[in-house]
A = this chain, B = another copy of it.
Amino acid sequence: MYTVCSVKPRSRMRPDEIAGLLRRAVRERLLVPGQPLNQDELAKRFGVSRIPLREALRTLAGEGLVVMRPGIGAVVTELDAEELNELYGLRLQLEPPLAEWIVARARAEDLEELEGILARISSLGEGNLEAWANLDYLFHRRVAELSGRRHSLRLVTQVLNLIEPYSRLYVHLVGPEHHLVSEHEEVIAAIRAGDARALEARMVRGLESARRRLVESASSMDEDVDLVSLLGGDEDAGTG
């Protein structure tokens, strides 16, 4: 029993939009890793038949966000600590090289937008873990988008989306990392200064520390910890 999006669409939703909402649902842990996705249920929520819904799932499968097993259906991709480590390695390979493109293309309005996101992060209270995680994701994504490198961005986004459910779980476990605000400020400063080296170095350091934190955390919770309760799961988990 999960809630993805009960909004009634004005016109019939297209598979691309459904895929977008599903991506967000996976990132935000409305659909958790390992969870089987009931096609009838999801199709009803989106107000379409199973055909366009299945096409959206296939798109996500192509991006690696879900796996479709014949006769079983789609399941949200599960990652272990080793895979998370690998994915952070990919971010380290993919994102820092974008620095020179980012500083070359960033405009004043782009910087303003980033500062706006950062301001919204700073103004959040302690309780808004969801909003905090959403804005942090948005910040990183926007920075990468500034590079204007289409294919790099495609891959980076795929990796970000795969990591995000676990990153968000980590945030829920230990709370938001307030020192990241200063990291983000340094990123903006480097872009404004046009200093690709500084930006690259800042991205590397941020990614390495994030990798260390998240992978250690993931290793310690060795797969069979009941994480659902920590997220305020309201299942009737009674044993009958």
- Assembled-state Cα–Cα distance A152/B61 (Å): 16
Does B14 lie within 8 Å of A70, measured CB to CB?
yes
Of A153-161, A194-202, A217-225, the one contacting chain B is: A153-161
Tell me, rounded to whole Å, the shortest Cβ–Cβ distance linking A91 to chain B. Answer: 11
Number of copies of this protein chain within its complex: 2
Does B155 lie within 8 Å of A158, measured CB to CB?
yes
- Assembled-state Cα–Cα distance A178/B15 (Å): 46
Q: How many residues of A contact B (CB 8 A)?
A: 33
Closest to A155 in B: B155
A45 at the interface (CB under 8 A from B): no
Q: Which of A20-55 contact B (CB under 8 A)?
A: 51, 54-55
Tell me, rounded to whole Å, the shortest Cβ–Cβ distance linking A153 to chain B. Answer: 10
Of A82-90, A127-135, A230-238, the one contacting chain B is: A82-90
A52-83 toward B: CB 8 Å interface, digit per residue (1/0)? 00111011111110001010000000000001
Does B59 lie within 8 Å of A61, measured CB to CB?
yes
A97 at the interface (CB under 8 A from B): yes
Residues of chain B contacted by A154 (CB below 8 angstroms): 64
- Assembled-state Cα–Cα distance A60/B149 (Å): 20
A102 at the interface (CB under 8 A from B): no
Does A149 lie within 8 Å of B59, measured CB to CB?
no
